[in-house]
């Protein structure tokens, strides 16, 4: 079936694009803290080292912003081009967040350009204010995009619809959609998939649009999702941590290579913020995220905990549900729930919801079979998701320990600093500072990469959890693999070229005048 | 069209026109900047490198906003005309892929061109410059297929007959496309040349040598444009008679005054160019104050041309020879559009755009951009 082939072909490309975008967005959100804290210390002390470091970091941020914007465009276009079924979501539940995102995007540009153009021409506190404005809009953009992604994970406002098909799923908030309309959309997609091999092309037919009609009655429903709010805090803090960890590792590396202690000095201004965020991330943000997954995405939670069968784990249950005696539901329990459907078919349910229902190719499909088939697909991922999740947790613990080590090595905080100093005497301070900074970076990036994998792969086999599958949304175009390979090569080359550009900006001394003369034929 | 449809038609049109204006400026100045950088290296002329950097700053400022308005267009299409977008991403999958690939190359190379300046060898830097410039021209190479198809649905017509696979290839053979893309490219180079000329006529930034380079770029394409324009117009007569008749004022929506304005602007550009050419004397003479009018006149020509091309399809959105498909066919019927939110967002966009342009021109006037410390 063409839809299946396209899903196999386009899913990895889309995921790769999202990962690249997330990498650049992390720097976009984290570097403003680095730049602002460096400028603040420059303002208070007049030490030019801080200004120069802020200037170079600004150059990195500018290149990074361009790359983040382009990868964002790639994801945006990719979404509607590779997964045109998502146009329905963009035209309904994502309308308000994506329209608001325009304001965030333009705000980012205005403040970043204003910051770059006026740096050193205006007072430092004005520059810090402009950078804060930039961060506010960049953060706002992150909030909006995260809310849209969260709706795909937990389709808030669809009420009990998903639980009708999959009885182990909970209800998703007060109903903010006309449920019969959503059922009609789903049926139209499934029937088209069964007859034509692809489904999303139904949105091209104006008559279909007329027949579907208006569905959501609250266009801001994505903003009200408790899962969305937990995701926003968790994702944004992770991004900020990565950006700062990246800068700390870069300065520590320069310290390692040159032995110049000014690079340790440059880490200090933003290190306390990094420490606080790395403490808050697991205790507050990660905890809320985990609780939200446990509450709204039972299959993902079972995957994370490796629960093939229902099991007891008082610690996890206490953290997830606030009740140590509550069992972690496993796939055996979900199977039982599926079997409760008995011999009910799609047609029987559809006829109850849609007064004018005309039986189609999907009418005779048993809900039990559908439920068990999708469940089996989810269950296939348990081992991977479980392993990835716990590696992520472990990496986060490493980051927390390493940042405490880094703080102890760069500030005097009593006993811990004396312990680190003892290690410094043995292994060398330069090496130790770099090791801590590197571990903070690895311990920040790895959980983010793995966490995103858990987030995205954990909601499979659905794109919209419990409602829509990738095959129902993928393009009906028969895309030659060579075309996708070339396209992927282009954007991969640009991403790595961009990263190399950031490296050049951060590390190469400015040879402009020298090279200008050379380039213009004047010998050195 | 009812009020709502007219609003969406106008909103889409305004977004397209603003986007096209910015895009023309960035494509044209990008080419001139890359060429000047290359010539600086080949001719051992350091002053051309200075010119390249200054022209490049015009590009950077406007590129950011062309990108924003490109995103605005996508959101408007998805939010207000989802059916049209669904058709476009299917039938025009490959042209859009070309445009997307070009954007992916364009934006990072802009950043790389600036931030590697003086940090890598001039030869490599010149190559980055040309990749940056040419990728800018490749973006409309993809998107103009969409414009060609909504004016004459050559490929889409096949798709409507359920010949989708053939349609996706046949869009590349749209007969309106060749004159349209040439008209677009020549227009961008014309605008780039005259904007550059204007830029070097600004008080405090005056340079006869740099102005002259921009001027001859502009004049070459000013001379070429009427021929390509005529080719496009006669093609419209064959393939899109509604648009053709609207332009010539012989149909319901009379655009002849706008077409006349475009002709007058072209004539003015020719006259002012000739006067400036005489004064500047191949970069050896003086710069007359009125040379500053060249850029705005070129932009006005683009505005008038794009307005004609887009508004001329009224009351339809997609033209099909002597008939057309109204906007309502493609409307978002899935939600009640929250117009208060739409107006609020548009208001913020306009305020930011205005504020940003004022800031940039203030910065230019204060020489912040010219003299800002280099990273």
Question: pLDDT tens, B168-197?
Answer: 999 999 999 999 999 999 999 999 999 999
A303 pLDDT higher than 90: yes
- Average pLDDT estimate for A293-305: 96
Distance CA B101, CA A492 (A): 11
Collapsed DSSP state (helix, strand, coil) of residue A172: strand
Q: Residues near A337 by Cβ (< 8 Å), separated by ≥ 6?
A: A166, A167, A168, A371
Decide: A464 and A86 in contact? Cβ < 8 Å.
no
> Is the pLDDT confidence value at B361 over 80?
no
Q: Which of A78, A91, A103 sits opposite B345 (nearest CB)?
A: A103
- Distance from C-alpha of A304 to C-alpha of A316, rounded to nearest angstrom: 11
Between CA B47 and CA B37 the distance in angstroms is: 10
* Chain B residues in contact with A479 (beta carbon < 8 A): 93
What b/e string do you get for A262-286 counting C-beta neighbours within 10 Å, with b at 16 or more?
Answer: ebbbbbbbbbebbbebbeebbeebb
* Residue A454 clears pLDDT 80, i.e. is over it: yes
What does DSSP say about strands B318-320 and B323-325: parallel, antiparallel, or unpaired? antiparallel
| Residue A344 resides in a domain | no
Which whole-number Å values give the CA distances from A219 to A287, A501, B71, B290, B341, in the listed order? 29, 41, 20, 52, 11
CA triple A388-A76-A14, angle to 5 deg: 35
Give A102's pLDDT tier (boundaries 50, 70, 90).
Answer: confident
The Cα–Cα gap between A374 and B14 comes to 46
Structure-block tokens of residue B359? 């800031």
Q: Report d(CA A290, CA A282) in Å as an integer.
A: 10
- Distance between B361 CA and the closest CA of chain A, angstroms: 12
Q: Which of A372, A375, A381, A390 has the alpha carbon at shortest distance from A458?
A: A381
Q: What is the number of structural domains in chain A? A: 1
Contact between A65 and A35 under an 8 Å Cβ cutoff? The reply is no
Asked whether residue A406 is domain-assigned, the answer is: yes
Q: Do the domain assignments include residue A320? A: no
Residue A306 lies in a domain: no
For residue A81, which residues of chain B lie inside 8 Å, CB to CB? Answer: 89, 93, 96-97, 100
Q: How far is CA A84 from CA A476, A493, B137, in A?
A: 9, 26, 27
Residue-wise pLDDT tens digits, A485-510 = 888 888 888 788 778 877 877 776 55
Task: Tell me the mean pLDDT in the region B13-32.
Answer: 93
Task: Specify the residue for token string 């951060």.
Answer: A506
Which comes out higher in pLDDT, residue B5 or A281?
Answer: A281
Enter the ipTM: 0.79
Mean pLDDT across the stretch A374-394? 95
Position of tokens 């030490």?
A47
Quick one: which of B308, B298, B295, B202 has its CA closest to B254? B308
Minimum Cα–Cα distance from A83: chain B residue: B89
In chain B, domain spans: 3-337
Q: Specify burial of residue B294 (Cβ count, 10 A radius: 0-12, 13-18, 19+).
A: buried
Interface test with A, best of B108, B139, B361 (most A CBs within 10 A): B108
Give the pTM: 0.86
Helix (H, G, I), strand (E, B) or coil at A468: strand
Q: Which two tokens stand for residue A154?
A: 């937990």
Q: Which of A90, A210, A214 is opposite residue B78, by nearest beta carbon?
A: A90
Q: What is the pLDDT of residues A146-188, one digit of tens each?
A: 999 999 999 999 999 999 999 999 999 899 888 888 888 889 8
DSSP-assigned beta bridge partners for residue B65: none
Least confident of A315-324, B294-303, B366-375: B366-375
% of chain A at pLDDT higher than 70: 97
Please report which helix (H) or strand (E) contains residue B325, including its range: strand B323-325
- Distance between CA atoms of residues A457 and A463, nearest Å: 9
Q: Are the Cβ atoms of B90 and A121 closer than 8 angstroms?
A: no
First-to-last alpha carbon distance for chain B, in angstroms, is 53
What range does the domain containing A448 cover? 2-158+166-177+216-297+381-509
Q: Who among B48, B90, B348 is closest to A477 (CB)?
A: B90
> In the structure, how many helices (H) and strands (E) does chain A have?
23, 0
Q: With 0-12 CB in 10 A as exposed, 13-18 as middle and 19+ as buried, what is B353?
A: middle
pLDDT at A39: 96
Q: Residue B254: how many CA atoms within 13 Å on its side-chain side?
A: 5
SS3 assignment, position A177: strand
Cβ neighbourhood burial of A140 (10 Å; 0-12, 13-18, 19+): middle
A491-495, B146-150, B233-237: least confidently modelled range: A491-495
Tell me which of B82, B106, B318, B358 to substitute to probe the interface with A (most A C-beta atoms closer than 10 Å): B82
Mutate to test the interface with B, among A28, A76, A102, A506 (most CBs of B within 10 A): A102
Burial class (CB in 10 A: 0-12, 13-18, 19+), A235: buried
> CB–CB of B338 and A77 under 8 A?
no
Q: Given an 8 Å threshold on Cβ–Cβ distance, is A113 in contact with B64?
A: yes
Distance CA(A441)–CA(B196), nearest Å, equals: 45
Q: Which residue of A has its CA nearest to B98?
A: A487
Q: Is a pLDDT exceeding 90 seen at residue A206? A: no
Q: Which candidate from A113, A490, A514 shows the least CB-CB separation from B104?
A: A490
Chain A contacts of B342, Cβ < 8 Å? 99
**Spatial CA neighbour of A220 closest among B75, B73, B346, B338:** B338
What is the rounded distance in angstroms from the CA atom of residue A266 to the CA atom of residue A313?
A: 45
Residue B374's pLDDT is what?
Answer: 40
Distance CA B322, CA A278 (A): 66
| Facing residue for B368 by CB, picked from A73, A121, A204 | A121
CA distance A400 to B222: 64
Which of B111, B116, B135, B340 is the best mutation test for A, with the most CBs of A within 10 A? B111
Burial class (CB in 10 A: 0-12, 13-18, 19+), B169: exposed
Nearest to A501 among B64, B105, B115 (CB): B115
- pLDDT at A510 (0 to 100): 54
Q: What does the DSSP 8-state code read for residue B324? A: E
CB contact under 8 A, A209 and B100: no
User: Scanning every residue of chain B, which has its alpha carbon at the shortest distance from the alpha carbon of A75?
Assistant: B100
């Amino acid at each position: 079936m063409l839809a299946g082939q396209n899903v196999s072909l386009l899913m990895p490309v889309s995921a790769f694009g999202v990962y690249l975008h997330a990498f650049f967005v992390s720097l976009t959100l984290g570097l403003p803290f680095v730049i602002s804290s460096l400028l603040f210390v420059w303002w208070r002390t007049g030490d030019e080292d801080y200004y120069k470091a802020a200037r170079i970091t600004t150059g990195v941020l500018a290149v990074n912003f361009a790359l983040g914007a382009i990868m964002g465009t790639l994801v945006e276009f990719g979404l509607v081009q590779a997964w045109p079924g998502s146009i329905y979501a963009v035209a309904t539940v994502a309308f308000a967040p994506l329209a608001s995102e325009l304001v965030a995007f333009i705000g980012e540009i205005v403040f970043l350009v204003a910051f770059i153009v006026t740096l050193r021409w205006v007072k430092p506190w004005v520059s810090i204010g402009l950078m804060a404005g930039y961060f506010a809009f960049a953060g706002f953009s992150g909030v909006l995009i995260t809310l849209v992604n969260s709706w795909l994970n937990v389709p808030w406002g669809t009420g009990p619809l998903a639980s009708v098909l999959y009885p182990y799923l909970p209800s998703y908030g007060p109903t903010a959609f006309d449920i019969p309309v959503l059922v009609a959309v789903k049926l139209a997609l499934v029937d088209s998939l069964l007859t034509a091999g692809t489904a999303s092309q139904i949105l091209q037919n104006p008559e279909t649009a007329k027949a579907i009609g208006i569905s959501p009655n609250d266009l801001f429903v994505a903003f009200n999702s408790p899962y969305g709010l937990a995701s926003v805090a968790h994702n944004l803090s992770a991004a900020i941590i990565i950006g700062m960890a990246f800068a700390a590792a870069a300065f520590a590396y320069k310290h390692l290579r040159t032995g110049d202690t000014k690079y340790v000095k440059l880490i200090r201004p933003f290190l306390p913020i990094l420490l606080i965020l790395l403490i808050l991330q697991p205790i507050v943000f990660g905890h809320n995220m985990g609780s939200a997954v446990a509450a709204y995405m039972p299959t993902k939670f079972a995957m994370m905990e490796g629960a093939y069968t229902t099991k007891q784990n008082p610690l996890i249950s206490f953290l997830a549900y606030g009740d140590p005696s509550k069992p972690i539901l496993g796939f055996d329990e979900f199977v039982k729930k599926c079997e409760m459907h008995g011999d009910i078919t799609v047609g029987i349910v559809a006829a109850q919801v849609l007064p004018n229902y005309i039986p189609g190719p999907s009418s005779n499909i048993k809900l039990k079979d559908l439920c068990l088939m999708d469940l089996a697909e989810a269950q296939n991922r348990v081992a991977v998701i479980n392993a990835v999740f716990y590696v992520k947790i472990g990496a986060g613990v490493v980051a927390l320990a390493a940042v405490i080590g880094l703080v102890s090595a760069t500030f005097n905080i009593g006993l811990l600093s004396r312990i680190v100093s003892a290690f410094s005497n043995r292994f060398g301070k330069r090496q130790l500072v770099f090791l801590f900074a590197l571990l903070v970076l690895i311990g920040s990036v790895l959980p983010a990469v793995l966490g995103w994998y858990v987030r995205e792969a954990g909601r499979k086999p659905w794109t919209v959890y419990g409602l829509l599958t990738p095959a129902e949304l993928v393009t009906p175009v028969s895309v030659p693999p060579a075309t996708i390979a070339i396209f992927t090569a282009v954007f991969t080359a640009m991403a790595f070229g961009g990263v190399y550009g950031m490296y050049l900006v951060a590390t190469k001394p400015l040879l402009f005048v020298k090279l200008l003369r050379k380039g213009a034929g004047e010998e050195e | 069209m009812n009020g709502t449809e007219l609003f969406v038609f106008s909103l889409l049109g305004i977004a397209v026109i603003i986007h096209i204006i910015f895009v023309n400026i960035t494509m044209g100045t990008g080419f001139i900047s890359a060429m000047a950088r290359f010539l600086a290296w080949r001719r051992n002329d350091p002053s051309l490198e200075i010119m390249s950097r200054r022209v490049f700053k015009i590009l950077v400022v406007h590129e950011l906003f062309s990108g924003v308005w490109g995103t605005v267009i996508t959101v408007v299409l998805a939010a207000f005309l989802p059916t049209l977008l669904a058709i476009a991403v299917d039938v025009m999958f490959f042209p859009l892929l070309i445009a997307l690939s070009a954007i992916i190359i364009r934006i990072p190379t802009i950043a790389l061109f600036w931030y590697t300046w003086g940090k890598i060898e001039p030869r490599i830097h010149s190559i980055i410059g040309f990749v940056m410039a040419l990728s800018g021209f490749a973006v409309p190479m993809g998107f103009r297929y969409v414009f060609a198809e909504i004016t004459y649905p050559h490929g889409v017509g096949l798709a409507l007959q359920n010949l989708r696979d053939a349609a996706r290839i046949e869009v590349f053979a749209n007969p309106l496309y060749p004159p349209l893309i040439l008209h677009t490219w020549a227009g961008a180079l014309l605008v780039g040349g005259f904007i550059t000329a204007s830029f070097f006529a600004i008080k405090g930034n005056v340079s006869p040598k740099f102005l002259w380079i921009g001027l001859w770029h502009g004049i070459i394409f000013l001379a070429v444009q009427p021929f390509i324009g005529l080719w496009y117009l006669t093609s419209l007569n064959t393939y899109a008679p509604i648009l053709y008749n609207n332009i010539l004022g012989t149909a319901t929506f009379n655009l002849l005054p706008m077409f006349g304005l475009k002709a007058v602007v072209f004539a003015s550009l020719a006259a002012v160019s000739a006067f400036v050419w005489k004064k500047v004397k191949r970069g050896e003479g003086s710069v007359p104050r009125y040379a500053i009018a060249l850029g705005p006149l070129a932009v006005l020509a683009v505005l008038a041309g794009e307005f004609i091309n887009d508004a001329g399809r009224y009351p339809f959105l997609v033209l099909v020879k002597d008939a057309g498909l109204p906007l309502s066919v493609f409307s978002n019927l899935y939600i009640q559009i929250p117009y208060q939110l739409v107006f609020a967002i548009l208001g913020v966009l306009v305020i930011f755009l205005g504020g940003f342009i004022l800031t940039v021109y203030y910065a230019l006037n204060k020489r912040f951009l010219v003299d800002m410390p280099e990273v």
